Amino acid sequence: MSNDQVTGTEIKIMTYNIHHGADAENKFTLDKIAEFIKSENPDLVGIQEVLNMVDSKDCTDQVAYLKKYTGLHPVFNPNVIKDKYTYGVMCLSKYPVKKYEHRLLPSIEYLNNFSEQRGCIISTVEIGKTTVTFIVTHLGLTQEEQLLQAKELMKISAGIEGYKIMVGDFNEEVYKTVKHKVIGSTQTVNIQEYSPVMEELLGEKPQRLRKDRYADAFMGTKPGETSTFPADKSDIRIDYVLISPELYKGITEKRVVPSLLSDHLPLIVKIRIP
């Protein structure tokens, strides 16, 4: 197809767990993260682990900082509210946000450090003549909790008309390597098992598009090509860009950026919207 036959608007999506504005060694990198985001010139950015400290010399109002130094419109509503800090996910948009909603997701109180209230930001933006709903989330650390949260996200998504894009850190792989004992033997074999969490979001076959589920923008890539965590020696992918299935054929670029500004690697996807 020649350039003059190409229709629609191309948008650039980014998702990035910024590790409260620090690298894997907890060195402050928020300034460089802002520079990186601005240099990529994205249309929509989903950010996880945004930390706003109260009366601290070591941290800053990260929402205001990212707004100022990226030039993008921010949407933030904390999932966690404490005396000394607030914490959660945010959206950055090149386009004015028509409306947004903050929803808390079902979260389980464990008797350890796994407990954290999770949530999502749902932003509606107009891109040309098209309405796009952009959802940013960060799921829990146990599969039990993730499955409850994935089900809630699908309920939310079912009530949204038009194109949907959901990004975030899901703390879960599409497939996991699980050891199984060989019957009648002491040996074990490694078997790739499909995550029930991702099945809830993508359907029973992640390589097939379903109208009632999301499509993984990185579907079809080889294992290891799209690993996002840990940043310095990434060997698993737990960060995702999920899109309405009808948008999948419009993908023009998808990549993982080898940046060490956080403990996660950012994902970037370009999509041509009809």
CB atoms within 10 A of CB 46: 32
List per-residue pLDDT tens for the chain, 274 residues long.
444 445 689 999 999 999 999 999 999 999 999 999 999 999 999 999 999 877 656 557 899 999 999 999 999 999 999 988 899 999 999 999 999 999 999 999 886 766 899 999 999 999 988 999 999 999 999 999 999 999 999 999 999 999 999 999 999 999 877 666 667 677 766 677 889 999 999 998 777 788 899 999 999 887 678 999 999 998 899 999 999 999 999 999 999 999 999 999 999 999 999 8
Q: What is the distance of C-alpha 119 from the center of its chain? A: 12
Could you tell me the pTM of the whole model? 0.92
User: For the domain with range 10-273, which CATH number is right: 3.40.50.300, 3.60.10.10, 1.20.120.450, 3.40.50.720?
Assistant: 3.60.10.10
* Integer Cα distance of 41 and 12 in angstroms: 8
Please state the domain extents for the chain. Answer: 10-273
CA-CA-CA-CA torsion sign (113, 29, 169, 89) = positive
For strands 130-138 and 163-169, give the pairing.
parallel
